[in-house]
Structure 1
Amino acid sequence: ELDLNHERIGKIENLENLTQLERLCLRQNLIEKIENLHNVSLQELDLYDNVITKIENLEELVNLTILDLSFNRISRIENLDVLTNLNKLFLVQNKISKIENLSKLTKLTMLELGSNRIRKIENLQSLVNLTSLYLGKNKIDKIENLNVFKNLTILSLQSNRIVRMENLENLINLDQLYLSHNGIEKIEGLEKLTKLTILDVAANRIKKIENVNHISTLEEFWCNDNQISNWDDLHHLVPLKKLNTIYLERNIIWMSSDDPEKINPMYRKKIMLVLPWIKQIDATFCR
C-alpha cells in the first residue's frame, strides 16, 4: 500500500519495482496524465482531485477492483474495457456529458457519476450487478432505462431536471431513493418499491402526500421545501408504523399564517398527534 496524498506530485513514475503493490493513493496532487502503471497486482487506484483530462493507460491493471478518478477534468468515459474485475467506479465532478463504454464492466456494483454534465440515463444495460447508482447534480430530465437493475438498492438522482417519477417498477429491491431538487409535481410510480426505507423528494413542486402508504418498510420521508398545504395529507402516512423521521419544513403547512418565513406554532404538535411514534421532525428529535 502506498499513500502519497497532497504531495504536489506532477507525474506518476518510478513505481515499477513495487510488484506487490495492491493499493495506490495519489489524492490531491497535480497529476495531468495516467501513465507508467505496470503494477498488475494493483487492486485499488485512487487519483481523486488531480488535473487528469483523459482515461488512458490502464490496460495492465487487470486486477483492479476500485478506481477513483473523481474531481479531475475528464470529458469522456473510455479505455476501461479491460478492467473486467472492477467493482466500484468513481467519476464524480468531471466534465462527462455521456454515459458510454461501460458494457464490459459487468462486475460493477457501485457507479458514481455525480456532478457531471450527463443529460440521459443510457448504456447501462449490461451492468446487472449494480447495487448503487449515483447520478446526482447532472442535467437528466427523465428517469429511464433502469429496467435491468433488480439488484439496485440505492438510486440517487437529486439535483437534476426530472419532472416525473416514472419507470421505477423493476427496482424491486430499492432501499433508498433520492430525488430532491428536481421539478417533480406528484409522488407516483412507487407501487412495486415495497422495500424502501428512505424516500427523499425534498425541494420539488409536490402539492400532496400520496401513493406511499403501501411502503410499510419506510423509515425516513424527506418532503421539505414543497407545496403541501393540507394537514389531512398526514393521515396518508398513518399505516407506516416504521416511519421514524419526517421532514416537512418550509411547506405551506409549516408556515405561520402571520408570516410565511416563520414556523406555524402548532406545526410539530399537529404532526405528533397524527404520527405519535415519530422520533424526529425535521432536524429536531421528538421528546
Structure 2
Amino acid sequence: MASEDFSSGDEHSHHHHHHCHDSDSNSDSDEKEDKFNLDPEAKEIDLTHAGLRDFAEIGLEQFEKLEVLSLRQNYIGQLAELDPLVNLTDLDLYDNRIMRIENLGKLKNLTLLDLSYNGIRVLENLEEQTELDKLFLVSNKITKIRGLEKLAKLTVLELGANRIRTIENLGTLSSLTSLFLGKNKITKIQNLEGLPNLTLLSLQSNRIVKLEGLATLTRLEELYLSHNGIEVIEGLENLTRLTTLDLAGNQIKKLSCLTTLTNLEDFWFNDNFIELFSDVDQLKGATRIETVYFVGNPIATDVGYRRKIKLALPSLTQIDATRCA
C-alpha cells in the first residue's frame, strides 16, 4: 500500500537491553544505583524495555549532565522527578503508560519530546518548552490541538492516530516544516495559513471531503491525503514544489488541476475512479515523474494499461508496485 507511515515517531531504532537483577543487594538504596550500572557522568541513558515503573528506580538526581534519556517500552505511569535534569535535550518515553503531560517546567532545554503510544488526553503544560524542535504524540487520546502556542521553534509536530476533529491553534508555529495529522477525525482542511514553511503535510485517513485551504502552503513538497472522501482535485495549482502527492483511496473520478505540478516524482492514486487514459495527460508537465499508482481504478483493468501509462509518461520507472522497463 503506497502511503507513508504515520507513526514517524518510529525513526529512532529500538534497542533491547536485558538487565540482570542483583538479588544479593542488601538495601533498596544500593539496588537503585547498582541495578543498571549507570555512570553518574553519563550524557545519554537508554533503558528501553527494562521493566521500569517509575523514574525513582533510576535515581535521576545523580545525573546532572544528562542530555538524552530514552525509556521506550516501559511501564512508567507518571511524569515526575525530572527537575534535576536541567540539561536534558531529548526525552523519549514512547510506549509507556503516561496519562498526563506535567512536571516538565524545569526542562527548558528540551528539543525533542516523544510521548507516542501513551494514554494522554490533553495537550497541556508545554508553555516552558520554548526550545522544542520535535514533538511526537502518535497514538494517544488527544481530542483538541491546544497549548502549543509558545513553541515558536517547533519544526516537526506528529499527532497521528489521535481523536482530533479540528485543525486549529497552530497559527504561531511559523517554523513548522512537518505536520502529521493522519488517522484522526478531521473533516475540513483549515487554519494552515500561518505555516508558510510547511514542506510536509499528512492528513491521511481522516474525513475530509474537499481539497481546500492549501493555497498559501507554497513550500509544500509532500502532501498525503489518502483514505479520505475527496471527490475533486482542486486548489493545488500554487503548490508547484510538490514532489509527492498521495490521493489514494478517495472518491475522485477525473484528474484535474495537476498541470502546474511540474516537480512531481510520486503520484499515488490507487483505489479511485479514473476511467479515461486521457486524464493521465494532466501529469505530462511533470517530466521527472518516477512512480504512479493507478491500480484499483477502472483504467487499470484495460489490457494495455501499463503500456498506455508508460507511453503517456515516459520518465516512469515504476507503475503500481512493479518496476517498468
Give the aligned partner of residue 82 of structure 1. 128
Superposed displacement of residue 141, structure 1: 0.2
Paired residue secondary structure (2:292)? strand
Superposed displacement of residue 73, structure 1: 0.3
The one-letter code of the counterpart of 2:63 is L
Aligned ranges 1:29-40 → 2 under 5 Å: 29-38=74-83, 39-40=85-86
Q: Distance in 1 between matches of 2:277 and 2:140?
A: 43
Give the aligned partner of residue 33 of structure 2. none
Give the aligned partner of residue 191 of structure 1. 237
| Consecutive unaligned residues in structure 2, runs of 5 or more | 1-43
The answer to whether residue 216 in structure 2 is matched with residue 170 in structure 1 is yes
The answer to whether residue 287 in structure 2 is matched with residue 241 in structure 1 is yes
Identity %, equivalent residues = 55
The count of residues paired between Structure 1 and Structure 2 equals 279
The answer to whether residue 50 in structure 2 is matched with residue 7 in structure 1 is yes
Q: Distance in 2 between matches of 1:276 and 1:172?
A: 27
Q: Distance in 1 between matches of 2:75 and 2:95?
A: 8
- Range with greater deviation from structure 2 (238-247 or 25-34): 238-247
The one-letter code of the counterpart of 1:220 is D
Paired residue secondary structure (2:125)? coil
| Consecutive unaligned residues in structure 1, runs of 5 or more | 256-263
Superposed displacement of residue 265, structure 1: 2.9
Q: Distance in 1 between matches of 2:124 and 2:315?
A: 50
Paired residue secondary structure (1:269)? helix
Find the partner of 1:130 among 172, 176, 180: 176
The one-letter code of the counterpart of 2:187 is D
Aligned ranges 1:1-287 → 2 under 5 Å: 1-13=44-56, 14-38=59-83, 39-255=85-301, 264-287=302-325
- Range with greater deviation from structure 2 (229-238 or 191-200): 229-238
- Cα deviation, 1:87-114, whole Å, max 9, x if unaligned, reads 0000100000000000011110000000
Paired residue secondary structure (2:91)? strand
The one-letter code of the counterpart of 2:51 is R
Q: Distance in 2 between matches of 1:178 and 1:279?
A: 21
- Cα deviation, 1:43-98, whole Å, max 9, x if unaligned, reads 00000000110000101100000000000000000000001000000010000000
The one-letter code of the counterpart of 1:194 is T
The one-letter code of the counterpart of 2:166 is K
Q: Distance in 2 between matches of 1:239 and 1:88?
A: 35
CA RMSD of aligned residues (A): 0.7
Paired residue secondary structure (2:129)? coil
Superposed displacement of residue 177, structure 1: 0.3
* Regions of 4+ moved over 4 Å: none
Paired residue secondary structure (1:16)? helix
TM-score, with structure 2 as normaliser: 0.85
Higher helix share: 2
Q: Distance in 2 between matches of 1:16 and 1:41?
A: 12
The one-letter code of the counterpart of 1:285 is R
Q: Distance in 2 between matches of 1:4 and 1:29?
A: 9
Q: Distance in 2 between matches of 1:80 and 1:277?
A: 47
TM-score, with structure 1 as normaliser: 0.96
Q: Distance in 1 between matches of 2:299 and 2:250?
A: 15
Higher radius of gyration, 1 or 2: 2
Q: Distance in 2 between matches of 1:283 and 1:271?
A: 14
- Cα deviation, 1:12-59, whole Å, max 9, x if unaligned, reads 121111010000000000000001102000000000000110000101
